[in-house]
Structure 1
Amino acid sequence: MEFSAKLITHRGERRIAVFFEKDKRLIARIKEFDDARWSAGKAVWHLPDTVENRNIFKIIQHQETIPSLEGIEQISKFKQHLASKRYSENTIKTYCDALRSFFVFYRNKPISEITNEDVIIYNNDFILKNKFSASYQNQIVNSVRLYFGTILETKIEIDKIHRPKRSKLLPNVLSKEEVKVILTAHTNIKHKMMLSMIYSCGLRCGELLALKPVHIDSKRNIVMLKNSKGNKDRIVPLSPKILEMLRDYYLVFKPQNFLFEGSIAGTRYSEKSLQSVLKQALKKAFITKPVTLHWLRHSYATHLLESGTDLRYIQELLGHNSSKTTEIYTHVSTKSIQQIKSPFDDL
């Protein structure tokens, strides 16, 4: 048998690890699967945990990996509730997956009997024991609070479910010189255009891939972002230099539906391919930092702040609900710090 597989949890997500001898032909076959990823830490290729993939690799759905019948029914009700409230597909999937994990842990207990103490036990015996991140724990808390607050009457007191203490991590920021090297690394105009749009407009990956030609307003020099995170629309300024690049790009590629399309005309460019575009740019630019697409958005915000843009405008441009989210960029801006003279210089 060329492949063997087993269920794993990777970064808080259920995945299927696929094992095989190192062979270019087999690697090419794995890459054909949607969302196939390589984990350097686990040294294994892994795929989404779907019914189709389980059938392909003959993985048996063990009882301990699924909730009780009551749990399955309640997750279905929860999903319908979220859909009726117009939550995004990604949010619905995240919340339902989190609730499923919680119900699997308590598959032998009636849901109406679950208490606050059970939530604490779950956090200690599952989240902490498996060394899952605080952010994954927070997803579980959000899901449990929302479910028990809207779907089912229970013994749980919603307001007493505590959240994990958030890590005070600063955003990763590149210098303008580093950004320039990355954005000019590609000769392919589409690749260069996509990375440049993310930085020049401070876009999230999904926002870039959802763009359509009609969202570019060349007369007012703005980009209209429709149904962004939180189902909000917003506008961001369009750089004149970017507009010239877009005109050249449009003449070559003539996009029909999405501004950036995949190999099949009219289809949306994939997130995996966009990540690969960045990875290739980093390699060509000889940058070894673990840069992600979101680093470009962080760098956009920080560089705006350093150039004197008011924090309130940056909040609007990034689409942040709270000014506290935007204020984190004040901690990575070097404009004021660079003016401080070290006492070492006076020794």
Structure 2
Amino acid sequence: MTQLRQRMRADMQVRNLALNTQLSYLQQVSLFARHFGKPPDLLGREDVRTYQIYLTNEKKLTPGSIHIAIAALRFLYKVTLKRDWVPEEALPLPKKPQKLPIILSPGEVQHFLNCVFNVKHHAILTTCYAAGLRISEAVHLKAADIDSQRMVVRVEQGKGRKDRYVMLSPKLLEILRNYWKMRKPKEWLFPGDRAGRPITRDAVGQACTKAHERSRLSKPVTPHSLRHAFAVHLLEAGADVRTIQLLLGHRSLATTAHYLRIATNKVCATSSPFELLPRPAPSPLPPAKPEYF
């Protein structure tokens, strides 16, 4: 490991960045250095610009993937290398297309969950929907996080290194209790194949894909789409946006407010102006032709 890599890792650790963020940033900087065949500290502003054009035009990465690469390079040059040029000017972020997620109806969610036959996979995917958890939060749940006395689920160190509480549905509690009686998990609520480790996100994703195939739903289904459904269904049931923000663990209320564009009771509550147009008078029926035979 080079000294520069060690220093960047230390800078991220000091700032308490999530482990996945650290690994992602180091990988992105490594790809940047390998592209030019030089250490990053020998590369400058024009090299950074050339690399971004390469990611856009040749690699044809999505704006989201480019955002990750740019965030890593910004951290490297602004924090670790302390360059005097402004990384935000040399590394502008591409504009992301504003796409709305496709939302499952409550009936579709129930049908999908009925197609998850493995008891552990059924329990964790149900938890993603019933508590609105990110998949990374669901896989790291422990039995002690389920507080049946207060009927809450403790989410420890979610995105942004923040703890929060979400509601514990009585139906979910019953499912988790039945699962616990059958599997008797110890450290992790949803243990993986490797001893002492929780189930992986990939394993949950594969289980979700298999259940989606069985369900034959035309809409896409992922663990994260269950979280989207949780938010929209709460909004349609009358919950306020601030409450949903706290439950989802969003840092910004604006992020949660995007769901207002999806909720049918918000979007479809107003009648179309087409309904206000006067109805045309019915056209008179043509006279019947005489019958000669």
TM-score bin (small chain): 0.7 to 0.9
Larger RCO (CA under 8 A, 6+ residues apart): 2
Provide structure 1 residue ranges, at least 5 long, that are not aligned to the other structure. Answer: 1-68
Contact 2:153 2:166 in 1 (8 A): yes
Distance 1:271 1:174, change over 3 A: same
Q: Match for residue 221 of structure 2?
A: 291
> Take 1:245 and 1:315, find their aligned partners in 2: how far apart are those partners?
26
| Cα distance, 1:112 vs structure 2 | 5.0
Encode CA deviations 1:149-171: one digit per residue, 9 max, x unaligned.
11114353224231111211112
Flag the 1:110–1:254 CA change in 2: closer, same or farther, 3 A. closer
In structure 2, the residue matched to 1:174 is 104
Task: Tell me which residue corresponds to 1:144.
Answer: 73
Give TM-score scaled by structure 2 length. Answer: 0.86
Q: Counterpart of 1:174 in structure 2: which amino acid?
A: L
SS in structure 2 of the partner of residue 308 of structure 1: coil
Structure 2 CA distance for partners of 1:192 and 1:85, relative to 1, 3 Å: same
The superposition leaves residues 186-244 of structure 1 with CA deviations (integer Å, 9 ceiling, x where unpaired) of 34332221111110000111111100100010000000011111111110000011111
Superposed counterparts of 1:110-125, under 5 Å: 111-112=41-42, 114-115=44-45, 117-125=46-54
Q: How far apart, in 1, do the equivalents of 2:117 and 2:83 lie?
A: 59
Matched residues in 2 for 1:187 and 1:153: separation? 53
CA distance in 2 between partners of 1:110 and 1:337 (Å): 49
CA deviation map 1:70-94 (0-9, x unaligned) = xx44233211221232212100011
CA contact (8 A) 2:55 2:66 kept: no
Say if 2:98 is the partner of 1:164: no
2:166 corresponding residue in structure 1: 236
Secondary structure at the aligned position of 1:236 is classed as strand
- The equivalent residue for 1:252 is 182
Post-superposition CA distance 1:255-302 (Å, at most 9, x none): 111111234665412222211221222122222433211000011011
Q: Which amino acid aligns with 1:154?
A: R
CA 1:114–1:286: 2 relative to 1, 3 Å: same
In the TM superposition, 1:1-347 aligns within 5 A as 72-108=2-38, 111-112=41-42, 114-115=44-45, 117-154=46-83, 156-161=85-90, 162-263=92-193, 266-342=196-272
Alpha-carbon offset, residue 329 of structure 1: 0.7
User: Partners in 2 of 1:318 and 1:270 — Cα distance?
Assistant: 21
* Equivalent-residue separation in structure 1 for 2:16 and 2:70 (angstroms): 20
Are the aligned partners of 2:116 and 2:211 in contact in 1 as well (CA < 8 Å)? yes
1:97 positional shift: 1.2
Aligned-residue offset at 1:127: 3.1
Greater share of residues in strand: 1
Question: Could you say if the C-alpha distance between residues 131 and 219 of structure 1 is closer, same or farther in structure 2, counting changes exceeding 3 Å?
Answer: same
Q: Structure 1 residues 198, 126: CA separation in 2 closer, same or farther (over 3 Å shift)?
A: closer
Which has the larger helix fraction?
2
Distance of aligned partners of 1:109 and 1:180 in 2 relative to their CA distance in 1, 3 Å threshold: closer
- Residue 95 of structure 1 deviates from its aligned partner by 0.9
Q: Which amino acid aligns with 1:130?
A: K
- 1:264 to 1:112, Cα distance in 2 relative to 1, 3 A: closer
Question: Identity percentage over the alignment?
Answer: 33
Q: CA–CA distance in 2 between the matches of 1:153 and 1:90?
A: 23
| Cα deviation digits, residues 83-138 of structure 1 (max 9, x gap) | 232212100011111112222233347735502x3322221134322101111111
Residue aligned with 2:59, SS: coil
Change (3 A) 1:240 1:84: same
Alpha-carbon distance in structure 1 between the residues aligned to 2:33 and 2:208: 38
User: CA RMSD for the aligned pairs?
Assistant: 2.1
